[in-house]
Amino acid sequence: MPDDRNQYQIIRKDARNCFVESLNDAFGIGRVHFAFATYDLSRPAGSRQTNNIHIYITVEEFLELCRKLNSGELRYMLQSKKKTGESTCLYQHLGGTSAEKLARQGRSRADKKSLSRTVQLLPGSKSDFLFVADSGPGEANAKGLIVPKFGNTPENHVAVSMTFEAFSELMLMTQIHYQAWLSAQYVAHPIQRANMQTERQTIPNMQDVHSELPAQSLF
């Protein structure tokens, strides 16, 4: 394995002058991390990356998407949209960083807005899917969700063309790695015996429970 490999990378899928990769560095905070990037090979080495967007999806939301993939629901949704010519998204996630948090981190935007990061899974015209990430100015709504305010002109845009098989590999490899990480957490931090003893003490003995019940006639 190459020494310069991203140590957190799980799997990477490339398209023309762009890629998406999944990483395991956010499992500990309950997120699955996807990094999207575009590049220009005509530029000097070290300055070839032209767009870079990081998406953090909650584990629960990610596993629900995997369920749709595993069950065949996502393939059915895709086929239905292809048949009718619909281009609406099959999946969408809105995320980002609020203006207040950016200020605390010393990374305030010039326009003082929040940073919106979105990802969409769309039916592709020349392939099965377009996995699209965008970022730009946003605003936090009443529920704290960062809503994009960049319209059709995001500051960063990455659209990765993918076959159904390539998208499946990206999702399912990431799912397996999360499950392995979670198993390792249980091994490294087993339930303490003291806690188990406490729980046992709170569970009544079934013989005692039955002895306290009034006798009932069978006739």
Q: What is the CATH number of the domain that holds 155?
A: 2.30.31
pLDDT for 144 equals 87
Residue 215 in any domain: the answer is no
* Domain housing 119: 9-188
Task: Report the 10 Å Cβ neighbour count for 25.
Answer: 14
Domain-located, residue 182: yes
* 113: three-class secondary structure by DSSP: coil
Within a domain: 216:
no
Check if the beta carbon of residue 59 is closer than 8 Å to that of residue 31.
Answer: yes
What is the pLDDT at residue 110?
A: 95
Long-range pairs for 188-197: beta carbons < 8 A, 24 or more residues apart: none
Is 24 inside a domain boundary?
A: yes
pLDDT in tens, 58-90: 999 999 999 999 999 999 999 999 999 999 999
Domain-embedded: residue 4: no
Give me the number of domains the chain comprises: 1
pLDDT, residue 209, reads 44
Global model pTM greater than 0.95 = no
**Is the residue at 122 inside a domain?**
yes
Domain membership flag for residue 194: no
pLDDT tens for the 219 residues of the chain, in order: 444 458 899 999 999 999 999 999 999 999 999 999 999 999 988 889 999 999 999 999 999 999 999 999 999 999 999 999 999 999 999 999 999 999 999 999 999 999 999 999 999 999 999 999 999 999 999 888 999 999 999 999 999 999 999 999 999 999 999 999 999 999 998 877 655 555 566 555 555 544 444 444 443
Backbone angles phi, psi at 157, to 5 degrees: -145, 125
Look at residue 166 and tell me if it is in a domain: yes
